[in-house]
Amino acid sequence: MSNEGLNSVNNILTDVVKDQVKESAQAGNHHHMISDEVKGTSQDPSPNLVRPISIAALIFGAIVAILLAMQPQIDPYTQTVLSLTGDAANGRSIFVMNCADCHGQWAGGKVGPSLHSVSGRLSRVEMIHQVVSGETPPMPMFQPKPQEMADLLKYLEKL
């Protein structure tokens, strides 16, 4: 979950706790409060409203947090790769050296699947993730420099 999301949940929880503390303080100082009310000096909102407002705020905060968490979080490496212009010919050389043993000389598939039209199945972010994550053995985790990854990406997009 993003920090912003956590912070907003945190703020809302803090507010709710403050409201609860205020409420119990009011309960404890009942006589005091009544005398304040008699004097007409009480600034407190109606206690009947405090709890529904806290709950509404909590639900609203939770929804905001979920929406924030659903935003794709793009890491700095991926952002850098996406900002670069790839060179497909260089990507081809990198592919032959690192990927062709498994995916075939022309990416038609071997140990690994065919990569033809792979950019129609996977987004650019997903293709980068596939190469650098190592999440699907036996495909290893590669650590290309951002420019090399941009070149490879350009090549993959032409398959």
Residue whose CB is less far from ligand HEC, 65 or 131: 131
Residue whose CB is less far from ligand HEC, 89 or 111: 111
- Name the site residues for ligand HEC (rule: CB under 6 A): 98-99, 101-103, 111-113, 115, 118, 121-122, 127, 130-131, 136, 138-140, 142, 152
User: Contact at 8 Å (CB) between 9 and 60?
Assistant: no
Of 149, 153, 3, the closest CA to residue 71 belongs to 3
Residue 118 half-sphere exposure, CB side, CA atoms within 13 Å? 25
Residue whose CB is less far from ligand HEC, 22 or 129: 129
> Residue 41 class from Cβ within 10 Å (0-12 exposed, 13-18 middle, 19+ buried)?
exposed
CB 21 → ligand HEC: shortest distance, Å?
52
Residue whose CB is less far from ligand HEC, 33 or 139: 139
CB 72 → ligand HEC: shortest distance, Å?
18
CB 87 → ligand HEC: shortest distance, Å?
15
Q: Is 139 helix (H, G, I), strand (E, B) or coil?
A: coil
CB 20 → ligand HEC: shortest distance, Å?
49
End-to-end CA distance of the chain: 35
